[in-house]
Copies of this chain bind each other. A is one copy, B any other.
Amino acid sequence: MNDKVLIHHGSGGLLMRNLIHDIFLRYFDNGILKSMTDSAILVGKSGHFAFTTDSYVVDPLFFPGGNIGKLAVCGTVNDLAVSGAVPLYLSVSFIIEEGFSISDLEMIVRSMADEARMAGVKIVTGDTKVVQKGKADKLFVNTSGIGFIEKRYTGLSHGKGTKPGDLVMINGTIGDHGIAILNARESFNFSSGLSSDCTSLNKFIQTILRNTGEVRFMRDATRGGLAAVLCEFAEKSGLGIEINENSIPVKEEVRGICELLGFEPLHLANEGKVVIIAGNQSGSKILDVMKKQKAGKNSSIIGRMVTDHPKKVKLITSSGGSRWIDLPSGEQLPRIC
């Protein structure tokens, strides 16, 4: 093991998984944390609830499609939503560098309030710390959240019941957020049309759950991208996953920038994309419900669960070849979330 924390420890890939296993799970030893779901699923007196936390350290704070505040609300709302929960309450905690602009803070706070209103959640408790100039990168935000889960959805985080032949679906183009952040930070000015997909998916997801059946598993594809979600789910389910490059929605600009800079769209972070594993019989119905909503108009069935290569993810390339997809093992992208 390394003796220093590396930037890769935070990228959602293999190093991060090792850190979690070697340090956090070793000491914070309980079954709930060990299940490694997006939200902890807790049992209250009259039902189940979900609890989750995320800190946001994005640079730049403002980017096409959002800012750190909107991101923090969407991210925590989505972590609850993919657990099958209806998000209800958020906490917000700021760490602010001395000298930060009050009007920028106000803009961030306003967009958090707007996004919370749209998602139907309340920001009910908060905290503010100010650190000396140079001791933080402008502003960090933590949002934690609570949602209630109907009992019938409590298995969703675990993907129990997933079978060979089940479909792998996604609600639109991948990598938009990653490239938008990179473009904004590095001032590449590759394209003025690119913006983050940052959005709250709770209503989108609840509409799917309430109007279809056979949804086995959901996870939002954030850090580590689509690749991380698929690799982790293959590992967890014990099945293989086969995906078709041709079916994965990627914007032309995103694909172009990736080729130019040597990035892999599958590794890029998203902030409004959910991977859904669903029964084969219900696939077209689910796709239909997804496509009818704004957050899902470019939805696609991108692959399926297979028995051939347990715990491994295979990509059928557009040229008809195939290659294995691994958990990102280094820093495939500069820090973006």
Residues of A bordering B, CB below 8 Å: 1-11, 16, 19-20, 23-24, 27-30, 32-33, 39-40, 42, 44-47, 49, 51-57, 59, 89, 91-103, 105-106, 109-110, 112-113, 116, 122-132, 134-137, 140, 142, 144, 146, 148, 335
Contact B54 A130 (CB under 8 A): no
Most chain B CB within a 10 A radius of its CB, from A42, A54, A142, A146: A142
If A24-B128, A33-B126, A55-B93 are given as contacts, then 10 extra A-B residue pairs at C-beta distance below 8 Å, sorted by A number, are: A8-B130, A19-B128, A24-B126, A32-B122, A44-B148, A51-B125, A51-B146, A53-B142, A55-B94, A142-B144
Contact B142 A9 (CB under 8 A): no
Contact A124 B42 (CB under 8 A): yes
Q: Name 29 A/B residue pairs within 8 A (Cβ), A-sorted.
A: A4-B98, A4-B99, A5-B98, A5-B101, A5-B105, A7-B98, A10-B129, A10-B131, A20-B128, A23-B105, A23-B109, A24-B92, A24-B128, A27-B109, A28-B116, A28-B123, A30-B124, A32-B124, A42-B146, A45-B46, A46-B46, A51-B91, A53-B142, A54-B127, A57-B131, A59-B135, A135-B136, A140-B140, A146-B146
In the complex the two chains form, what is the Cα distance from A8 to B16 in whole Å?
36
